[in-house]
C-alpha cells in the first residue's frame, strides 16, 4: 500500500483544504483491511474530491481507492447488473460497461466522480422517471472501522440496503457495488432557447414528454436554455454543438464590465440568446449526458417537493436579479423518488434547483439569501453541495434520520469515521483523537 505523509489536500473547487496525517492508497482489499484493523485513528474515505462540503476533511487518515485495480468485477447479463469497483470513476466504468453492451440508466452533469462518492451523496441527473444512482445499487461490500467485511445483498443484511445506498462515508469504506444497468443506448440531445416565462410554464410537460429534461435560467436574461435527451437509434450527429466553457467566460466578462448598467447587460444577453441556434447531437448515452467542467464554481443545490419546486425557483430568480455579481446559469432538474434512508429523493420525485457562484466570488450570499427560500419551500440539501443544516433540521426532513444514526453508532462505535462536519450532521460530540 502506498501511504504518504500528506501535503495539503484540496477539493475540486478549492473551498475545502486540509492536511491529513496520511493518505492511504491501498492496492488490495487485504491492505485496506489490515490498515483499518491495525490502527485506531480517525479515517475518512474520499473519492474524486468533487463535493463542496467538508465531508472528506480529516486530521487523521484519508483513504482513497484510486490504486485498487479493476473496473467491472462481474456481469449478470440476464439481470442487466454488474458488480463494480466502487473507487473507479463513472467515466471509466461507463466505457468499460459499454464493452459488455451495458450502460448506467442516467448520469449527472459530470462523470469524473467515483462510484462510491457519487452514491454516498445521492448524486443525480435529470428525468422524471429516473431515480438517482444510489437507487440503482442492489448490493455492496463495505470494510468497517474494524477492517471487517460487511456484505449487504439479498442474502446478507438485506434490510441495510437503504442505509448503505446513501451513507456519506459514515458506515465504512465501500469497496464494490452492484448496480442495476440497462443495455447500451444512444441519445439525441437538443439544446434550444425559449423565453424564461414559457420555459417555466412548459417545464412540467417537457418532463413528461422527454426521457431527460433540464433547463438553465441565465441571470439577467429573459430567456432560458432548455436541454432534452431522448433515446434514438439514429446515426451519430454533431450539429452546432456549443462550447459551454467559452460561454461562461463571456458571461463572466459581461458581468464584470456591465454589472452597474443592468439594462445594457440584459439587452446584450437577450440578443445573444435570441440568436442561439438549436443544437442537435446524437451519440452514446454516457458521452451526451455528462460534460467536462473546467470553469471553477461553488454550488448550493436543494431538492424540492415537485409541487413547490418551480415556485421556489421563481423566487430564487427574483433574488438572483438583485445580485449583479451572479453570472452562472441556475440549473433546474427533476429526479424520481426512492427509498434510501438518507436520499433527498426518498418518498417522491423532487425538483432540484442549483445556484452557482463563480471562482473567486464570495458565496456567503447563497447561505444568507438563497438557502432560506429553498428551506421554506421544503427543500432537502444535496449532501455534497453547500448547505448549513445540522441534525436538528435534518431530522425534520428525513423520516429515517434517527434510524441511520443508530445504525452508524452500532457499526462505528468509536466514531472513527466522524469528522467535524459529519459530527454536526449526526449530532455527535467531536474531539480529535
Ligand X SMILES: Cc1cc2nc3c(=O)[nH]c(=O)nc-3n(C[C@H](O)[C@H](O)[C@H](O)COP(=O)(O)OP(=O)(O)OC[C@H]3O[C@@H](n4cnc5c(N)ncnc54)[C@H](O)[C@@H]3O)c2cc1C
* Interface with ligand X, residue 173, by CB under 6 A: yes
Of 72-80, 117-125, 279-287, 393-401, the segment contacting ligand X by CB under 6 A is 117-125
Distances in whole angstroms, Cα of residue 311 to Cα of each of 185, 233, 343, 377: 34, 37, 22, 8
Question: Which residue stretch of 109-117, 202-210, 221-229, 303-311 sits at the interface with ligand X (rule: CB under 6 A)?
Answer: 109-117
Please report, for residues 92, 202, 281, 406, the alpha-carbon distance to residue 224 in angstroms, rounded to integers and kept in the order given. Answer: 32, 12, 19, 45
Residues 6+ apart with CB under 8 A from 294: 245
293 contacts ligand X (rule: CB under 6 A) = yes
Binding segment for ligand X among 16-24, 102-110, 228-236, 260-268 (CB under 6 A)? 102-110
Cβ(315)–Cβ(270) under 8 Å?
no
Q: Which of the ranges 1-9, 116-124, 183-191, 228-236 carries the binding residues for ligand X, by CB under 6 A?
A: 116-124
Q: Is 48 in the site for ligand X (CB under 6 A)?
A: yes
Residue owning grid cell 420555459: 199
Within 8 A by CB and 6+ apart from 239, the residues are 279, 280, 281
Residues in contact with ligand X, shown as a per-residue x/- string from 7 to 36 under the rule CB under 6 A: -----x------------------------
181 vs 178: CA distance, rounded Å? 9
Out of 20, 49, 127, 415, point to the residue binding ligand X (CB under 6 A): 49
CB 113 within 8 A of CB 50: yes
- Contact between 174 and ligand X by CB under 6 A: the answer reads yes
Q: Is residue 370 a contact residue for ligand X (CB under 6 A)? A: no
- Contact call for residue 150 and ligand X (CB under 6 A): no
Which set of grid coordinates corresponds to residue 278?
438549436
Assess 300 for contact with ligand X (CB under 6 A). no
Q: At closest approach, how far in Å is the CB of 36 from ligand X?
A: 12
Considering the complex, state which of residue 219 and residue 344 has its C-beta at the smaller distance from ligand X.
Answer: 344
3-state secondary structure of 369: helix
Q: Which of 66, 109, 190, 202 binds ligand X (CB under 6 A)?
A: 109
Specify the DSSP element, H or E, that contains 286. Answer: helix 285-289
| Residue 66 within binding range of ligand X, rule CB under 6 A | no
178 binds ligand X (CB under 6 A): no
Q: In whole angstroms, give the CA distance from residue 201 to residue 198.
A: 5
CB of 172 to ligand X, least distance (A): 7
Nearer to ligand X, 168 or 373 (CB): 168
Sheet with strand 81-85: strands edge to edge: 72-76, 81-85, 173-180, 137-143, 149-152
Q: Of these, 83, 85, 92, 123, which contacts ligand X (CB under 6 A)?
A: 123
Q: Which of 419, 412, 384, 376 is nearest to 15 (CA)?
A: 384
Query: Is residue 47 a contact residue for ligand X (CB under 6 A)?
Result: yes
Q: What angle do CA 400, 175, 346 make, to 5 degrees?
A: 25
Nearer to ligand X, 92 or 199 (CB): 92
Ranges within 222-241 binding ligand X (CB under 6 A): none
Interface with ligand X, residue 289, by CB under 6 A: no
The residues of the shown chain that bind ligand X, judged by CB under 6 A, are 12, 44-51, 55-56, 65, 86-87, 108-110, 113-114, 116-118, 120-121, 123-124, 168-169, 173-174, 293, 382, 384
Amino acid at each position: 500500500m502506498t501511504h504518504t505523509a500528506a501535503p495539503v489536500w484540496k477539493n475540486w473547487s478549492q473551498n475545502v483544504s486540509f492536511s491529513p496525517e496520511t493518505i492511504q492508497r491501498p492496492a488490495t482489499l487485504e491492505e485496506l483491511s489490515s490498515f483499518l484493523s491495525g490502527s485506531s485513528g480517525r479515517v475518512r474515505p474520499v473519492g474524486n474530491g468533487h463535493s463542496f462540503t467538508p465531508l472528506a476533511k480529516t486530521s487523521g487518515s484519508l483513504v482513497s481507492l484510486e490504486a485498487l485495480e479493476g473496473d467491472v468485477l462481474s456481469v449478470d447479463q440476464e439481470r442487466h447488473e454488474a458488480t463494480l469497483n466502487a473507487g473507479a470513476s463513472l467515466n471509466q466504468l461507463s466505457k468499460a460497461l459499454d464493452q459488455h453492451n451495458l450502460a448506467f440508466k442516467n448520469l449527472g452533469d459530470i462523470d469524473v466522480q467515483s462510484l462510491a462518492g457519487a452514491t454516498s451523496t445521492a448524486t443525480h441527473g435529470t428525468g422524471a422517471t429516473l431515480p438517482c444512482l444510489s437507487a440503482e445499487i442492489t448490493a455492496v461490500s463495505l470494510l468497517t472501522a474494524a477492517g471487517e467485511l460487511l456484505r449487504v445483498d439479498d442474502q446478507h443484511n438485506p434490510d441495510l440496503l437503504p442505509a448503505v445506498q446513501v451513507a456519506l462515508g459514515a458506515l465504512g469504506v465501500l469497496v464494490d457495488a452492484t448496480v442495476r444497468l440497462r443495455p447500451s443506448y444512444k441519445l439525441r440531445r437538443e439544446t434550444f432557447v425559449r423565453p424564461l416565462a414559457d420555459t417555466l410554464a412548459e417545464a412540467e410537460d417537457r418532463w413528461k414528454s422527454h426521457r431527460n429534461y433540464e433547463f438553465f435560467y441565465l441571470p439577467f436574461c429573459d430567456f432560458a436554455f432548455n436541454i432534452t435527451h431522448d433515446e434514438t437509434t439514429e446515426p451519430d450527429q454533431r450539429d452546432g454543438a456549443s462550447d459551454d466553457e467559452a460561454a461562461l467566460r463571456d458571461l463572466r466578462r459581461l458581468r464584470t464590465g456591465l454589472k452597474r448598467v443592468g439594462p445594457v447587460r440584459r439587452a446584450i444577453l437577450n440578443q445573444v440568446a435570441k440568436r442561439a441556434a438549436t443544437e442537435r447531437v446524437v451519440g452514446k448515452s454516457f458521452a451526451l449526458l455528462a460534460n467536462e467542467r473546467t470553469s471553477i464554481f461553488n454550488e448550493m443545490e436543494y431538492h424540492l417537493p415537485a409541487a413547490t419546486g418551480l415556485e421556489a425557483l421563481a423566487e430564487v430568480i427574483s433574488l438572483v436579479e438583485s445580485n449583479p455579481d451572479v453570472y452562472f446559469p441556475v440549473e433546474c432538474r427533476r429526479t424520481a423518488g426512492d427509498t434510501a434512508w438518507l436520499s433527498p429523493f426518498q418518498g417522491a420525485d423532487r425538483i432540484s434547483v442549483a445556484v452557482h457562484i463563480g471562482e473567486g466570488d464570495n458565496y456567503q450570499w447563497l447561505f444568507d439569501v438563497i438557502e432560506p427560500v429553498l428551506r421554506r419551500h421544503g427543500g432537502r440539501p444535496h449532501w455534497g453541495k453547500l448547505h448549513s443544516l445540522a441534525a436538528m433540521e435534518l431530522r425534520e426532513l428525513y423520516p429515517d434520520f434517527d434510524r441511520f444514526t443508530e445504525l452508524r453508532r452500532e457499526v462505528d462505535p468509536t466514531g472513527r469515521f466522524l469528522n467535524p462536519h459529519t459530527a454536526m450532521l449526526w449530532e455527535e460530540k467531536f474531539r480529535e483523537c
